[in-house]
Amino acid sequence: MTTNGIFQILLFFALVLACVKPLGIYMARVFERERTFLDPILVPVERLIYRLGGVHPDREQHWTTYTAAMLLFNVAGLLVLYFIQRVQHLLPLNPQALPAISEDSSFNTAVSFTSNTNWQSYVPESTMSYLTQMAGLTFHNFVSAATGIALAIALVRGFARAETKTIGNFWVDLVRCTLWILLPICVLLTPVLVWQGVPQNLNPYTTAKTVEGADQTIAQGPVASQEIIKELGTNGGGFFNANSAHPYENPTPLTDLLEMVSIFAISAALTYTFGRMVRDQRQGWALFAAMAVLFFAGVSVAYWAEASGNPAFAKLGIDPAGGNMEGKEVRFGLANSALWATVTTDTSCGAVNSMHDSFTPLGGMIPMINMQLGEVVFGGVGSGLYGMLLFAVLSVFIAGLMVGRTPEYLGKKIEAKEVTMAVLAILVVEGSILGFTALASVTPAGLAGPLNKGPHGFSEILYAYSEGAGNNGSAFAGISANTVFYNLTIGLDMLFGRFLMIIPTIAIAGSLVKKKLVPASSGTFPTTGALFVALVVGVILIVGGLTFFPALALGPIVDHLYMVTGKTL
């Protein structure tokens, strides 16, 4: 670990922190339908969309109607994306004449991009046409991110409102998020990526001669426009197989920093939006502080592990103090590789600028733990906030048990229904990860995937289902997952992790919005100070540790012990 590396991590976090208040205020104004500087341009477009879609923007929805609208929209999007892939060879904007995609891969990809996971079991530049990339994948990069933000805002309304039955209108939240938040930022930042060298064209791939005289095909396309929404919407699916390690997706240290800040920006700012909407900004900062503590803990361990290197190098006459540069780009180095791996798995992004399979066991364990904690360390756009609020509900419930009174959060009594729904939402993700990992670990089709034996091979399986249920999409890059078995099981894993978690979460919003506000008393547990932050962090770590420590012990922990003792398989 170097002073320069630590400075770069702190600089990144300072830039994220600088975005929190202005972006948080702006998003609160958007969702509370207050006037913004973009209204003269976007309000006419918004009205046209409502008129074409038959939406009545002033009619708010009960939580069941809100959830049903969200599910129907996502099912329709999934089916359309599946269809586009299956008939890709018949559609325009396919200069490489790429064929139709198989049934199982089309299913996996349709689920992946609909659920904001963006896991890719295929090689994008040799599989997806430009039309599929733009009309299929990039479209879902916008609407899946907007869906997550809309759901978070619906839950926030459950806390902010009292004695009513509605939590907003899904169609309005979806449209306003896309038009006022995601599109403007992408329009602003896409030219910056082009300026730095990211391609943006519809040209056929270029054939060049190598130094040896062989032919080399250089893929290109509309990369910049997909790259920025991939990071901003915490989507993560790459235009190229190497993802953000590819020089056409992430050519310079400036693009590396810009893309990382984009990954965190909206998720971090939503905590401020939360505080503003519940009329107590300290509540938002408390959630931000809990997220920040977990972030710094994770990046510190990951950076230390990668900077420490592999002691086995000493046997080869290589000083391990130089760190583990295997699988990393020299232009980013150890600090920014460890930082990106932490950032992308703290959120549900999944983009990578290095190969996690080449990390040291403990360095690779941190991204895995980040996903297993429930996508709460800033988390995906929207999903990070509602995931953290689930743990806040559990924390005040535990605090209520400690003082012997009904727990309260933001003036709402937290009762059996809310706690049951919160636990159910958390267990859905954890059960999906461990269940599918167990299945893959004992079946021939599952065991055929890992490229390594022993604990590292198990880590590759565990990581694959952790990223699926966590809607992350990153990969250890050490597993052959484009098979019928993995396409179907990871597809189901992604569906469970996204949508089975959402239903009980929005049920909590529906329950809370009907309750009266209870005035704070001397027995009310304060939820704005360091004690509450520590309690939330403790609950998250205890739940994650009790659930996943046995699996981690079989994978990266044993792998680390093998490494330090010099044992190989």
**Position 88 confidence tier, pLDDT thresholds 50, 70, 90:** very high
pLDDT digits 0-9 by tens, 458-491:
999 999 999 999 888 887 878 888 899 999 999 9
Are residues 381 and 525 both part of a single domain? yes
Are residues 274 and 293 both part of a single domain? no
Classify residue 17: in a domain, yes or no.
no
Are residues 180 and 309 both part of a single domain? no
Q: Give the per-residue pLDDT at 320.
A: 64
pLDDT digits 0-9 by tens, 38-81:
999 999 999 999 999 999 999 999 999 999 999 999 999 999 99
- Does residue 465 contact residue 82 with C-beta atoms inside 8 Å? no
- As to burial, measured by CB atoms within 10 angstroms (0-12 exposed, 13-18 middle, 19+ buried), residue 14 is exposed
Give φ, ψ of 527 to 5 degrees: -120, 30
Residue 308 predicted with pLDDT over 90: no
- As to burial, measured by CB atoms within 10 angstroms (0-12 exposed, 13-18 middle, 19+ buried), residue 215 is exposed
412-413 and 408-409 strand pairing:
antiparallel
Are residues 162 and 194 both part of a single domain? yes
Last residue of a domain, one of 256, 279, 302: 279
**Position 323 confidence tier, pLDDT thresholds 50, 70, 90:** confident
Query: Cα(558)–Cα(81) distance, rounded to whole angstroms?
Result: 41
Mean pLDDT of the chain: 91
- Does residue 176 contact residue 153 with C-beta atoms inside 8 Å? no
Residue 94 predicted with pLDDT over 80: yes
Are residues 208 and 304 both part of a single domain? no
Q: Give the per-residue pLDDT at 512.
A: 94
Domains contained in the chain, number? 2
Rg, Å, the chain Cα set: 23
Last residue of a domain, one of 279, 306, 331: 279
Q: Give the per-residue pLDDT at 297.
A: 95
- Helices (H) and strands (E) counted in the chain, each on its own, are 21, 4
Are residues 455 and 339 both part of a single domain? yes
Q: Give the per-residue pLDDT at 399.
A: 86
Assigned token pair, 503: 């239903």
Classify residue 23: in a domain, yes or no.
no
- Domain with 496, as residue range(s), is 286-565
Are residues 363 and 269 both part of a single domain? no
Classify residue 24: in a domain, yes or no.
no
Query: Cα(219)–Cα(206) distance, rounded to whole angstroms?
Result: 7
Are residues 206 and 309 both part of a single domain? no
Residue 322 predicted with pLDDT over 80: no
Are residues 469 and 558 both part of a single domain? yes
Are residues 263 and 384 both part of a single domain? no
Are residues 74 and 181 both part of a single domain? yes
DSSP code at position 555? I
Classify residue 460: in a domain, yes or no.
yes
**Given the structure tokens 């602003």, which residue do they identify?**
188
Classify residue 531: in a domain, yes or no.
yes
Q: Give the per-residue pLDDT at 300.
A: 95
Classify residue 296: in a domain, yes or no.
yes
Q: Give the per-residue pLDDT at 319.
A: 67
Are residues 327 and 233 both part of a single domain? no
Last residue of a domain, one of 279, 300, 335: 279
